[in-house]
């Protein structure tokens, strides 16, 4: 059946009639939406809207993450013919998922950018869908979290990252990918006691009360033990999952702006994500994929897998 479908399917990003189901068009051809989902601005009956925020004007080192959403979409074509491996449910066949396209913004009007993102995500949530966002640099999580806190109250943040991104900055007008979670905690949209940062391996003395499971602890304790600690911290609070691709060691994800050695291996991240199924996740993002430094495409592939796992985590709760 798959072979016969592959002979006739093309540009499922536009020609797909059903929001559910696999796609067997040639992975190397066609229009590249995320997982070959249909591009649509109609959120009627949609469970999950995948959307891009191609922004990298908040970076402190190497740019290029504005090209991340496009690269992640292209990489995701490798996964579109099959259900995600090892999950007991079939999210691509059972969930109504669309590619909602990218947020529209004026690249030269940075002060207006945060509100554009918040309004974009607010529209998805108000339609009854969850968002999975493809970045873009990590600043984008702050305006996204604002929309989630409006809907669900203060959020538990589950952050995979090499950096805490909680360096002090009381100027809310500054757009900086290293201070946005400081602002999120100080603004009351993130509950630090019910939040956890995984994979940290850079120094920041003031953690603002956020729980830290650094990279060394992941290596020493193992993914299953780390997942259990994460579940204990989060409890049943509403969770937003933000995965900075630099949580992975540069050996696995070299295409990012601020790589740090000693990070998570891909298999460790995959096992942790699988083992936290059942947390009260409401949405998530994968950020900091920078294609200009991703010479093999491995980082975009990792980003596509992370975004798919976020869909699976959302699906676990939607389909239970």
pLDDT digits (tens, 9 = 90+) for 73-85: 999 999 999 999 9
pLDDT for the residue 1: 55
Per the domain annotation, does 257 fall within a domain?
Answer: yes
Whether 24 contacts 2, CB under 8 Å: yes
Residue ranges of the chain whose pLDDT lies below 50: none
pLDDT, one tens digit per residue, over 188-240 is 999 999 999 999 999 998 999 999 999 999 999 999 999 999 999 999 999 99
* Phi (first) and psi of residue 288, to 5 degrees: 70, 20
Q: How many other C-beta atoms are found inside a 10 Å radius of the C-beta of residue 267?
A: 10
Domain tally, the chain: 1
Is 191 annotated in some ligand binding site?
Answer: no
Percentage of the chain surpassing pLDDT 90?
A: 96
- Is 138 labelled as part of a ligand binding site? yes
Question: Is 310 a domain residue?
Answer: yes
- Separation of alpha carbons 164 and 201, rounded Å: 9
Is residue 28 a part of any domain in this protein? no
Residue 15 belongs to some domain of the structure: no
Q: Does the annotation flag 120 for ligand binding?
A: no
User: Which structural domain range is residue 166 located in?
Assistant: 40-64+107-318
The answer on whether 99 is annotated among ligand-binding residues is no
Residue 73, pLDDT score: 98
**Does the model's pTM come out above 0.95?**
yes
Do the Cβ atoms of 298 and 253 come closer than 8 Å?
yes
For residues 298 and 236, give the distance between their C-alpha atoms in angstroms, rounded to a whole number.
34
CATH number (domain holding residue 271): 3.40.800.10
- Percentage of residues in the chain having pLDDT higher than 70: 99
Residue 179 lies in a domain: yes
Contacts of 271 (CB under 8 A, 6+ apart): 223, 224, 227
The answer as to whether 185 is a domain residue is yes
Does the annotation list 219 as a binding residue? no
In a domain, 228, yes or no: yes
DSSP symbol at 178: T
Q: Is the peptide bond before 16 cis (omega within 30 degrees of 0)?
A: no
* Inside any domain, residue 73: no
56 is in an annotated binding site: no
């Amino acid at each position: 059946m798959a072979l016969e479908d592959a002979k006739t399917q093309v540009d499922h990003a536009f020609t797909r009639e059903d929001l559910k189901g696999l796609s067997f068009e040639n992975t190397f051809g066609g229009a590249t939406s995320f997982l070959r989902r249909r591009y649509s601005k109609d959120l009627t009956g949609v469970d999950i809207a995948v959307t891009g925020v191609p922004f990298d004007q908040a970076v402190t080192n190497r740019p290029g993450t504005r090209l991340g959403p496009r690269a992640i979409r292209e990489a995701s074509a490798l996964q579109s013919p099959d259900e995600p491996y090892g999950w007991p449910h079939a999210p691509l066949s059972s969930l109504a998922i669309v590619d909602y396209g990218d947020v529209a913004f004026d690249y030269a009007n940075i002060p207006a950018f945060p509100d554009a993102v918040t309004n974009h995500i607010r529209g998805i949530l108000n339609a009854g869908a969850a968002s999975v966002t493809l970045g873009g640099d990590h600043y984008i999580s702050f305006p996204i979290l604002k929309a989630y806190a409006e809907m669900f109250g203060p959020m538990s943040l589950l952050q995979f990252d090499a950096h805490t991104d909680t360096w002090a900055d009381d100027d809310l007008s500054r757009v900086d990918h290293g201070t946005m979670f400081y602002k999120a905690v100080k603004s009351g949209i993130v509950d630090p006691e019910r939040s956890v940062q995984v994979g940290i391996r850079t120094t920041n003395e003031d953690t603002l009360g956020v729980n830290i499971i650094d990279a060394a602890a992941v290596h020493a304790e193992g993914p299953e033990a780390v997942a259990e600690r994460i579940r204990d911290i989060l409890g049943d609070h509403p969770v937003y999952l933000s995965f900075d691709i630099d949580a992975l060691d540069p050996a696995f994800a070299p295409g990012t702006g601020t790589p740090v050695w000693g990070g998570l291996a891909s298999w460790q991240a995959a096992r942790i994500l699988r083992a936290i199924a059942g947390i009260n996740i409401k949405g998530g993002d994968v950020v900091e994929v920078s294609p200009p430094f991703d010479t093999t495409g491995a980082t975009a592939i990792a980003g596509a897998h992370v975004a798919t796992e976020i869909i699976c985590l959302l699906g676990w709760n939607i389909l239970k």
